[in-house]
Amino acid sequence: MTTKKELTVADLPGVGPTTTEKLSAAGIDTLLAIAVFSIGNLADVAGVSENVARKMIQAARGMLEMGFETADVILDKRKNIRKIKCGSETFNEVMGGGFETGAITELYGEFGSGKTQVAHQLAVNVQLQDENNEPSKVIYIDTENTFRPERILQMAKKVGLNPEEALKNIKIARAYNSDHQMLLSEKAEELLKTGEFKLLIVDSLIAHFRAEFIGRGTLSERQQKLNKHMHTLLRLADVYNCCVVVTNQVMAKPNVMFGDPTQAIGGHIVGHSSTFRVYLRKGRKGSRVAKLVDSPNLPENECMFFVNSSGLSDKEE
């Protein structure tokens, strides 16, 4: 009985030792990674023409037999989806049991609405043992210097984790501009390949883009870069079954006469790229309100929760 040879990147047409080395240096060392790459990006990374890059991608997809599948196969694959709890049972119910892996969840709202608090709580709760009795680790990209290890210590104690171990399970990087932020999201793939990381947080997604691209004349360039960034995050979520959570800023629409004038920054690029969109706002008596605005499978719904000294909860301490 002959065993089938496992195909690698080196088996692709037009890929020699030099190209293989370039791809490996960029963290692209599997057929799946090439299969989901865009032609232009792969050409830049590998230093080949777009025609060669196209052939590489087509060959990788052919080797992996990527094509149409029946819906029952997709349903079976979704059994690997994990739901990360956020500390508030009502919030978890609105999210269909928790924040889903393999997807991007956008949290948007005004300052003080609880976006970073939710991100911190998820960074702690994902470390609780999963069905395989294994804790997961976190990648945290901080763009506004809002990550606070002291807050992680408080939340870890509440859920019964070793506070010091909880800090060690979070890999954090401070992004100083939009290019650095995009680079960090690409470098995150090296960590995700280990299988230990199930949560990637970008807090906040839009801050650097909003500061660097000022005026309507730069809007097109900003949206193109933002689109590339979102698609990188979407690919990471899908390929590595990782929960990607991005926080987003808002603006007030002056032409809205009735209702809430608050609108998320980033336009349709962010809106269409996000799998779940959650609007956070301040409620009565110190509470916060979370409204699920968009989801592919859940109804629009909202709930109230509290941000306490020990983390998120359904009741005020």
Decide if domain 77-313 falls under CATH 2.60.34.10: no
Give the pLDDT confidence score for residue 27 in this predicted structure: 75
Q: What is the pTM of this model?
A: 0.85
Same fold, 9-63 and 77-313: no
CATH class of the structural domain 9-63 = mainly alpha
- In SS3 terms, the chain reads as CCCCCCCCHHHCCCCCHHHHHHHHHCCCCCHHHHHCCCHHHHHHHHCCCHHHHHHHHHHHHHHCCCCCCCHHHHHHHHHHCCEECCCCHHHHHHCCCCEECCEEEEEEECCCCCHHHHHHHHHHHCCCCCCCCCCCEEEEEECCCCCCHHHHHHHHHHHCCCHHHHHHCEEEEECCCHHHHHHHHHHHHHHHCCCCEEEEEEECCCHHHHHHCCCHHHHHHHHHHHHHHHHHHHHHHHHCCCEEEEEECEEECCCCCCCCCEEECCHHHHHHHCCEEEEEEECHHHEEEEEEEECCCCCCEEEEEEEECCEEECCCC
Per-domain residue ranges for the chain? 9-63, 77-313
Q: Predicted confidence band at 131 (pLDDT cuts at 50, 70, 90)?
A: low
Q: Predicted confidence band at 2 (pLDDT cuts at 50, 70, 90)?
A: very low
Give the pLDDT confidence score for residue 227 in this predicted structure: 94
Q: Does residue 5 surpass a pLDDT of 70?
A: no
Q: Predicted confidence band at 135 (pLDDT cuts at 50, 70, 90)?
A: confident
